Amino acid sequence: MNTADVAETLATLFRELVHGAPEDGAFVLNRGDHGILASLDRLSADEASLTHDGGASVAAHVEHVYYGLSLMNRWAAGENPFLDANWATAWQRGTVTDTEWAERRATLRDACMQWLGTIGVPRDVNRLEMNGIFGSVAHMAYHIGAMRQIDRRLKGPSAND
């Protein structure tokens, strides 16, 4: 199958999640929401490292989302990175220094931009790959919600219409 019929929609949804809701209407976020990348820029390293009730920190979620996108980007480049993927590793770095937090946000931004460029281009895929592509958008949305529950400073604007 080919992603031609869904590539533009997938890119639109992913773009909204990472860059924010367009003024002319949104599909996932509330109008005026700046998306996860700009939201993360509002947190200090200390704030990103906080945990509550034994849960993961925002920094750990960022590392996890980056790891997932890095796997998808490697797959899109022709590799099969899933054979030896180690998802547990991404959760082990829950605290960050100021330098590490800046680096982590930059690597997430780069991975998002690379993936955004990939999902917007039609390609032939099998059903498992198609599920992975759709799943990457849902995965990002889930973790945005999780991070915003951990630290309310990440929350976007409330619905006003």
> Does residue 68 sit within a domain?
yes
Cα gap 149→147, rounded to integer Å? 5
Q: How many CB atoms neighbour CB 22 within 10 A?
A: 13
Domain assignment of residue 119, given as a range: 3-154
- Give me the number of domains the chain comprises: 1
Question: Which three-class secondary structure state does DSSP give residue 2?
Answer: strand
φ/ψ of residue 33, rounded to 5: -75, 135
> Does residue 160 sit within a domain?
no
pLDDT tens for the 161 residues of the chain, in order: 999 999 999 999 999 999 999 888 789 998 888 999 999 999 999 999 999 888 899 999 999 999 999 999 999 999 999 999 998 888 988 899 999 999 999 999 999 999 999 999 999 999 999 999 999 999 999 999 999 999 988 887 777 75
Q: How many CB atoms neighbour CB 83 within 10 A?
A: 6
> Does residue 87 sit within a domain?
yes
> Does residue 83 sit within a domain?
yes
Is 60 within 8 Å of 93 (Cβ atoms)?
yes
Q: Which secondary-structure segment (H or E) carries 30?
A: none
Q: What is the pTM assigned to this prediction? A: 0.93
Segments in the chain forming alpha helices (H): 7-19, 35-40, 45-49, 58-76, 87-90, 98-119, 127-150
> Does residue 34 sit within a domain?
yes
Structure tokens at 135: 């799943």
> Does residue 44 sit within a domain?
yes
At 161 the pLDDT is 57
> Does residue 18 sit within a domain?
yes
At 38 the pLDDT is 96
> Does residue 159 sit within a domain?
no
Note every long-range contact of 17-23, with CB atoms under 8 Å and residues 24 or more positions apart, other chains counting. Answer: 17/137, 17/140, 17/141, 17/144, 18/112, 18/116, 18/140, 21/156
